[in-house]
């Protein structure tokens, strides 16, 4: 297969983990006889510094020419600590999602047997947890009408029936390939937008009679996720709730550095780790590249290349079992491995198989 990949390293640890993702893709293409080309583009704080726009037109065109985007991270404390900044790196991420029509964010959450002890939750609670969060990505508070002055501010949470229907269908299609259980998360007892979500969900559920559907308020879901994560199979929810719940879910695995994601929709799909730019670790070769590498597995699987994805997952599992780990997940007394060393180990594993 021939694949054109747009690579957006971004800020902070982004360039370091991005390189490991590119190296793994190159190893897979060599191993399986694919032709993969890479085109790099600016986004986030680096793009603001260069051209004053966190998602420049040239970057958008690069993404549109590609078959997929390998994205890493954006964010910079210079902007976090300046509430008066009119242009921010995160606006680039929102612009990318909106302009590419990426309405569905897919975040798999699963535990690794060799890392269960790293979770803040008890082993008997998290062992065997395996679910997917489907987050609506281009509507809600993040994209609604906004206003802000020194005394008053608001964000508008707007959803339409077509937006809700299309994300629900994504969730049900995933459930049909899994354990056939969908949990719709909302706040229908308070929010009008959530009541529309629930109404539409009840209609769509009738089209999938083989799938069990339950409805859960977001506060209850956040508690249930910690108390009984194995209850869930596919969770579907709106933008803001999904953002918060998926970060909460990351603690189940023991590290945000282990969780990949895919964003799909109308145009070029984007594959990325769920974590941020961790600017404090920039250039220190300590960032965990596994979420970026696992996003490569999701990318290949998106194009029907299941064997390639399986090999990446086997390589990641093998690296963990061999204690080839970055500091935040290393076992006591384990040898120190940096970002590049972990990536190189996984590339070598792929070449040897």
Catalytic positions = 142, 187, 219, 243, 247
Strand 68-73, strand 234-237: pairing: unpaired
Q: What's the rounded Cα separation, in Å, for the pair 190 and 332?
A: 47
**Are 242 and 98 within 8 A, CB to CB?**
no
The CA-based angle 123-289-305, given to 5 degrees, is 90
In whole angstroms, give the CA distance from residue 283 to residue 77: 15
Dihedral angle sign, alpha carbons of residues 219, 225, 227, 228:
positive
Q: Cα–Cα distance between 48 and 163 in angstroms, integer?
A: 31
Q: Which residues pair with 237 in a beta bridge?
A: 135, 185
Q: Which two tokens stand for residue 77?
A: 């404390």
> What is the CB-side half-sphere exposure of residue 275 using CA atoms within 13 A?
26
Asked whether the CA dihedral 342, 343, 348, 349 is positive or negative, the reply is positive
Q: Which residues pair with 291 in a beta bridge?
A: none
């Amino acid at each position: 297969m021939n694949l054109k990949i747009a690579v957006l390293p971004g800020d902070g640890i982004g360039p370091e983990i991005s390189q490991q993702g590119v190296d793994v893709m190159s190893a897979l293409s060599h191993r399986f006889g694919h032709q993969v080309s890479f085109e790099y583009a600016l986004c986030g704080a680096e793009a603001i510094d260069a051209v004053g726009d966190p998602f420049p037109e040239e970057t958008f065109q690069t993404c549109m020419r590609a078959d997929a985007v390998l994205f890493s991270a954006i964010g910079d404390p210079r902007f976090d600590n300046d509430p008066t900044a009119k242009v921010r790196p995160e606006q680039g991420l929102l612009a990318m999602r909106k302009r590419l029509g990426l309405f569905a964010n897919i975040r798999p959450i699963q535990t690794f047997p060799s890392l269960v002890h790293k979770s803040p939750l008890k082993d008997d609670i998290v062992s065997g947890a395996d679910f997917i969060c489907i987050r609506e990505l281009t509507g809600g508070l993040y994209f609604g009408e906004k206003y802000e002055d020194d005394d008053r501010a608001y964000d508008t949470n707007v959803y339409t029936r077509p937006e809700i229907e299309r994300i629900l269908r994504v969730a049900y299609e995933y459930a049909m390939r899994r354990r056939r259980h969908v949990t719709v998360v909302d706040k229908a007892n308070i929010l009008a937008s959530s009541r529309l979500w629930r109404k539409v969900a009840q209609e769509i559920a009738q089209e999938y009679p083989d799938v069990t559907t339950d409805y859960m308020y977001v506060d209850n879901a956040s508690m249930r996720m910690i108390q009984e994560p194995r209850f869930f199979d596919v969770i579907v929810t709106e933008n803001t709730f999904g953002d918060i719940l998926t970060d909460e879910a990351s603690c189940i695995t023991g590290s945000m550095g282990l969780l990949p994601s895919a964003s799909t929709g109308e145009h070029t799909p984007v594959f990325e780790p769920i974590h941020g730019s961790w600017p404090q670790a920039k250039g220190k070769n300590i960032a965990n590249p596994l979420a970026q590498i696992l996003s490569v597995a999701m990318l290949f699987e998106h194009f029907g290349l299941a064997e390639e994805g399986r090999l990446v997952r086997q390589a990641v599992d093998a690296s963990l079992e061999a204690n080839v780990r970055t500091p935040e997940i290393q076992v006591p007394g384990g040898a120190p491995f940096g970002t590049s060393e972990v990536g190189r180990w996984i590339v070598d594993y792929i070449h040897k198989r």
